[in-house]
């Protein structure tokens, strides 16, 4: 099952604040960070670990440390609103960037930028983009990552539409999608309903 619904109460509570038209830009930014921390933790639940020990003030404590190369790839520009949250969890993660812009009339995504760290084929790649609407941007980004050598890719989004999930599933059946919700669908302008509006515009105050 490629879609993982993240039903944690804090995720659901934060999602509703993001959806509200009353939410101001500063609160929207904070809530985007909060929900992204929770979603990324879920998406990285199966990260490999290795045994490790530390000396506590009382005795030696045995435990485990993350033992994986993680590459986070925000899809510009809205994905940048999730990046700090992921780096808070994995400060050593490397970061790639993909710039995509949906045409306002046709909703077709075109690429304007891509830059990745080396050895993507050996990395856990976490692609972050808050909105999965038609799926055009996600598929375009996944194709860029595929050409760059990425093998293990998972997507974290904040709102997904059934149309977008179906498109990604068809082209990339092995890519796992982590989302708090699958909304009703798209309107005639290809915005998610009920969605939360234009994520990038709300994040950066460019409405
Ligand atoms: C938004 C969003 C996704 C895309 C989703 O970006 O961040 O990348 O739309 O839509 P799709 O599934 O129909 O392709 P947008 O192109 O608006 O650019 P922005 O991040 O610069 O605001
Ligand atoms: N991009 C957004 O920011 N919101 C949508 O609803 C669809 C695409």
Give pLDDT, residue 81: 97
Query: Looking at ligand 1, which residue's alpha carbon is closest to its atom 10?
Result: 133
Contact of 49 with 66, CB cutoff 8 Å:
yes
Q: What is the pTM of this model?
A: 0.96
Determine whether 102 is an active site residue.
Answer: yes
Take residue 87 and report the two structure tokens written for it.
Answer: 């780096």
Ligand nearest to the CA of 99: 1
Q: pLDDT digits over 1-35, tens only?
A: 589 999 999 999 999 999 999 999 999 999 999 99
Give pLDDT, residue 1: 58
Take residue 55 and report the two structure tokens written for it.
Answer: 């000396």
Take residue 28 and report the two structure tokens written for it.
Answer: 């929207």
DSSP state of 185: E
Query: Looking at ligand 1, which residue's alpha carbon is closest to its atom 14?
Result: 137
Distance (Å, rounded) from C-alpha 200 to C-alpha 182? 19
109 lines ligand 1 (CB under 6 A): yes
Ligand nearest to the CA of 73: 1
Q: pLDDT digits over 55-100, tens only?
A: 999 999 999 999 999 999 999 999 999 999 999 999 999 999 999 9
Determine whether 14 is an active site residue.
Answer: no
- Atom index in ligand 1 nearest the CA of residue 137 equals 14
Question: Cα torsion at 191, 197, 203, 206 (round to 10°)?
Answer: 90
């Amino acid at each position: 099952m490629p879609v993982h619904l993240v039903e944690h109460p804090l995720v659901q509570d934060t999602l509703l604040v993001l959806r509200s038209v009353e939410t101001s830009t500063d609160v929207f930014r904070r809530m985007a960070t909060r929900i992204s921390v929770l979603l990324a933790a879920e998406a990285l639940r199966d990260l490999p670990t290795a045994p490790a020990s530390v000396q506590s003030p009382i005795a030696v404590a045995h435990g485990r440390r993350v033992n994986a190369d993680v590459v986070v790839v925000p899809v510009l520009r809205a994905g940048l609103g999730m990046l700090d949250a992921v780096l808070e969890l994995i400060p050593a993660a490397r970061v790639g960037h993909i710039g995509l812009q949906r045409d306002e009339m046709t909703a077709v995504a075109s690429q304007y930028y891509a830059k990745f760290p080396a050895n993507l084929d050996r990395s856990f790649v976490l692609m972050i983009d808050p909105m999965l609407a038609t799926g055009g941007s996600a598929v375009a980004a996944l194709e860029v990552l595929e050409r760059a050598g990425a093998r293990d890719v998972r997507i974290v989004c904040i709102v997904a539409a059934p149309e977008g999930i179906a498109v990604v599933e068809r082209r990339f059946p092995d890519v796992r999608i982590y989302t708090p919700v699958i909304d009703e669908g798209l309107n005639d302008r290809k915005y998610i309903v009920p969605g939360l509006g234009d994520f990038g515009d709300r994040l950066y105050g460019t409405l």
